[in-house]
Structure 1
Amino acid sequence: MSVTSCLPPEKPALNKGEMTQLLDIAREAIRSHFSDDLPLPPQLDLYHRKLRAKGACFVTLEVDGTLQGCLGTVTANEPLVIEVHNKARDSAYQDRRFMPLTEEQLDSLTIEISVLSEPKLLSVNSEEELLAYLEQHKVGVILTEHYSQAVFLPQVWEKLPNPAAFIKALKQKAGWPMNHWSPNVRVKTFTITQMKGKYFTPLA
């Protein structure tokens, strides 16, 4: 299990213990699907106020290192513990890109929780200015124009380390031509606190 924190200094990062609690919430949300238990949301009064506060997150699932589901939100609308619970279940069973997770896959399942900082509007006048900024800051990016939006988590930099390739792929995800840019494009950036762990934790 590994934990990485890259939230901005003005917003304290969640510590390892708190991220471990979120990972446990995701495990339980997935587990309840395969049991007779009702899929009850987390009981808020059992958690620290930081975890009860509204928060945005993504939950990413991999089976044998292959993506199995990834859903989340960039807007903090629900208490973080509730959001993690809901997005874990959504990623496992509602991501339309993949078949629903099966019980046979649980042995090889890895869960990654990414808690987002509040996205901040980045003032750039051109795509060139954006690329210059991203050369120095490998952050998460949200591109919006009218009703179209696309998001890449900071983890995408591992596969697309070149800013030009990163933004082209993000525009393609939004359904735009790869050479598209206009004064109506809005850019927001964010960082994350993340933790990754296996579904089945090893015995001590």
Structure 2
Amino acid sequence: MTSPSDEGPLLHQQFTPQQQQGLLDLAHQSVEATAHQKPMIIVDHEATDPDLLVPAACFVTLHKYHLLRGCTGILIPQRPLVDEVIVTASRTAYADPRFPNVVPTELPDIAIEISVLSATYPLEVEHWSDIPERLRPSIDGVILALGQHRATFLPQVWERVPDPNDFLALLSQKMGLQPNAWRMPNVRVELFQVVEFADEHF
């Protein structure tokens, strides 16, 4: 059996402090434009760091007073990372169904985290009971799918749910199913990793 440390693609992309801050600044500008109901910001690709023009999937998380204020993202690259950050930050500010739209008065208190994803890959197991031991807490993001139901947890979720069985149960509930849905024989599990960076006060 392949060991977890040998599974799947590694995320080799790293970002300099300047690149990280540039993306965070764009995310803040995008959230601000959305809160003020202004057009989405556009960046000049010719003046953009080429590393940030590579297509990449990402999630953008908003916090307010250290509490979750929104999180959305995509799993499959669709556009250059710099554009994806702008689009996803805007979407998080107005289209996370769990939260009301961000309004201008909240902007000074919003902190942002960006997670850039690796490619996803399937976790192959012989039996559902093998799944928990094959997960790497704090490293693996997990996608759980069963029929038309699908849900995702970023690796950061391990910080508050460190037990793999509890992690899978909560992810099953996020799909809208019972906590033991991850034990169904036809469940599909995919993994990914992230490079994450955030505001200093996140």
Both structures adopt the same fold (TM-score exceeding 0.5): yes
- Residue 160 of structure 1 contacts residue 166 of structure 1 at CA under 8 Å; is this kept in 2? yes
| 1:61-100 paired onto structure 2 within 5 Å | 61-100=62-101
Q: Deviations 1:101-128 (Å, cap 9, x if unpaired)?
A: 1211112110111111111111112232
Give the Å deviation of 1:79.
Answer: 1.2
SS, match of residue 101 in structure 1: coil
| 1:1-204 paired onto structure 2 within 5 Å | 9=10, 11-33=12-34, 38-134=39-135, 138-180=139-181, 181-197=183-199
Q: Deviations 1:76-96 (Å, cap 9, x if unpaired)?
A: 111111111011011111212
Task: Report the TM-score, using the length of structure 2 for normalisation.
Answer: 0.86
Task: Report the TM-score, using the length of structure 1 for normalisation.
Answer: 0.85
Stretches of structure 2 that go unaligned for 5 or more consecutive residues are 1-8
Q: Which moved more, 1:39-48 or 1:83-92?
A: 39-48
Percent identity at matched positions?
Answer: 33
- Residue 141 of structure 1 contacts residue 190 of structure 1 at CA under 8 Å; is this kept in 2? yes
Give the Å deviation of 1:10.
Answer: 6.0
Give the Å deviation of 1:188.
Answer: 0.9
Distance 1:86 1:10, change over 3 A: closer
Runs of 4+ with deviation above 6 angstroms: none
C-alpha distance in 1 between matches for 2:35 and 2:136:
45
Compare relative contact order (CA 8 Å, sep 6+) and give the higher one, 1 or 2: 1
Give the Å deviation of 1:135.
Answer: 5.3
